[in-house]
Amino acid sequence: MTTREDCVGLDSVDSLGALRDEFVLRDSQVYLDGNSLGPLTRSAAARVRRVVEHEWAEGLVISWGGAGWMGAPTRLGERLAPLLGARAGEVVVADTLTISLAKLIGGALALRPERHVLLTDAANFHSDVYISRAMARRAGREVRVATIDRNRLEEYLDDEVALVVLTHVDFRTGEMLDLAGVTEKVHAAGALMLWDFAHSIGAVPLDVTGAHVDFAAGCTYKYLNAGPGAPGFLYVRSSWQGVIENPLPGWLGHARPFDFDLEYVPAPGMQAFVTSSPPIVALAALDGALEVWDRVTIDQVRAKSLVLTDLFIDLLGERLPGVFEVVTPTEHARRGSQVSLRFHHAYGLVQALIERGVIGDFRDPDIARFGFAPLYLRYVDVFDAVEHFVQVVTGEEYLAPRFAVRHAVT
């Protein structure tokens, strides 16, 4: 059985260990919710301060040009591209994820006008389903949204399918889908593929180029630590640029916004997917948060993530055998960077752990979710977290009435 000393030993030789100091975290806390909201980095705080106190306070409106604010969406897109396996000029940071999906769904449906079906996963994040339906209703022809069992995708792929919208790492179970394999099947049916990378970016290596992905979007407030409500990103393969149209055009996607021309002429490249004025303060937080990525590779992060999640699963199995159903796949190739446990008192369990400083979250009806972000999580944190699990379960703390009160955010 792995001991606490073993974990201290693993931390002492961890090549990512020094990065924890870049994050503002209390030593007594075990933060296992970076798959929901990543913690603050010192570099994000410093970058925001600089933008607010110098570029905004002193530079005023001149900073739109002088401090390079106008170019921030594409500049940050370039910084994210390596994490996606994208090429230069294929990524932009503009809106939050649901809005980014709206743009890509609307644009993609128009590329297959003779087809009338959008396939998505019945287990997909609800926002993806809402926005798929909303954009299908506005497609200018009848488009049916089918919410299917993703494991039976092949049965539904025919020449009526225009677009498939899937989340690469399931938000509830942490299962990771086969990016290249699924994309290939979708293409073989003549349909287009749009991936949601909310739980993938910064968590697992991605290769959109090698997988021939058409479109993708994701958020930056989870494993990229850009802060609450931070803008997300959009990826459009270069061969679709200039072909796909942004269905939500605005002045900053125009080729010449300061001509004030009423005829919309899209800017070249990914700038066409920008609609409004970029949220500069939020983008500064993203810019700062990405600094830590200059010191690591996603392969290093992935390797540690798999050891952390294996350790958590193994320790729970040893110390609390048969108590939880691990719903996250144990095969590495099918696992994201979270572990989800099914438990009949999952809400109370999560609340009791939070009171003890082990922060995870709950997904209805019976899933306790724990994210493992290798940039700041130590092996010893996993050991200590499991120790708290043992106490919460053996003492039946999860049954305490104060842990039955449902908060608005679970």
Q: Could you list the active site residues?
A: 125, 196, 221-222, 369
DSSP 126-149: HHHHHHHHHHHHTSSS--EEEEE-
Q: Where are the alpha helices (DSSP H) in 122-223?
A: 126-137, 153-156, 179-188
Nearest one of 76, 142, 373, 107 to 249, comparing CA atoms: 107
Q: Provide the 8-state DSSP code for 252.
A: G
Nearer to ligand PLP, 63 or 305 (CB): 305
**71-79, 90-98, 256-264, 398-406 -> range binding ligand PLP (CB under 6 A):** 90-98
Cα gap 252→44, rounded to integer Å: 25
Nearer to ligand PLP, 101 or 136 (CB): 101
Tokens representing 65? 């040009």
**16-24, 84-92, 95-103, 203-211 -> range binding ligand PLP (CB under 6 A):** 95-103
Q: Which of 98, 238, 241, 300 binds ligand PLP (CB under 6 A)?
A: 98
- 196 near ligand PLP (CB under 6 A): yes
137 burial (CB, 10 Å; 0-12 / 13-18 / 19+) is exposed
- 97 near ligand PLP (CB under 6 A): yes
- 173 near ligand PLP (CB under 6 A): no
- 198 near ligand PLP (CB under 6 A): yes
- 125 near ligand PLP (CB under 6 A): yes
Query: Quick check: 161 and 127 in contact, CB under 8 A?
Result: no
- 361 near ligand PLP (CB under 6 A): no
Answer left, alpha or beta for residue 409, where phi above 0 means left and psi between -120 and 50 means alpha: beta
Residue 214: CB minimum distance to ligand PLP, A: 18
Nearest one of 228, 208, 209, 372 to 289, comparing CA atoms: 228
- 171 near ligand PLP (CB under 6 A): yes
Nearer to ligand PLP, 167 or 328 (CB): 167
- 232 near ligand PLP (CB under 6 A): yes
Nearer to ligand PLP, 172 or 345 (CB): 172
Half-sphere exposure of 380 (CA within 13 A, CB side): 15
Residue 363: CB minimum distance to ligand PLP, A: 10
- 127 near ligand PLP (CB under 6 A): yes
For the chain, the farthest-separated pair of C-alpha atoms sits apart, in whole angstroms, at 69
Characterize the bridge pairing of strands 325-326 and 338-342.
antiparallel
Strand partners, 337: none
Number of residues that bind ligand PLP (CB under 6 A): 13
Residue 236, classed as helix, strand or coil, is strand
Residue 17: CB minimum distance to ligand PLP, A: 28
Residue 39: CB minimum distance to ligand PLP, A: 16
Q: Which of 41, 96, 173, 200 binds ligand PLP (CB under 6 A)?
A: 96
- Name the strand (E) or helix (H) holding 314: helix 298-319
- Sign of the dihedral defined by the CA atoms of residues 371, 373, 376, 382, in that order: positive
- 128 near ligand PLP (CB under 6 A): yes
Nearer to ligand PLP, 116 or 133 (CB): 133
Half-sphere exposure of 298 (CA within 13 A, CB side): 19
Site for ligand PLP in 211-230 (CB under 6 A): 219
- 167 near ligand PLP (CB under 6 A): yes
Q: Which residue in this structure is represented by tokens 């992935």?
A: 302
**49-57, 93-101, 268-276, 367-375 -> range binding ligand PLP (CB under 6 A):** 93-101
Residue 32: CB minimum distance to ligand PLP, A: 16
Query: Quick check: 123 and 172 in contact, CB under 8 A?
Result: yes
- 275 near ligand PLP (CB under 6 A): no
Q: Which residues bind ligand PLP (CB under 6 A)?
A: 96-98, 125, 127-128, 167, 171, 196, 198-199, 219, 232
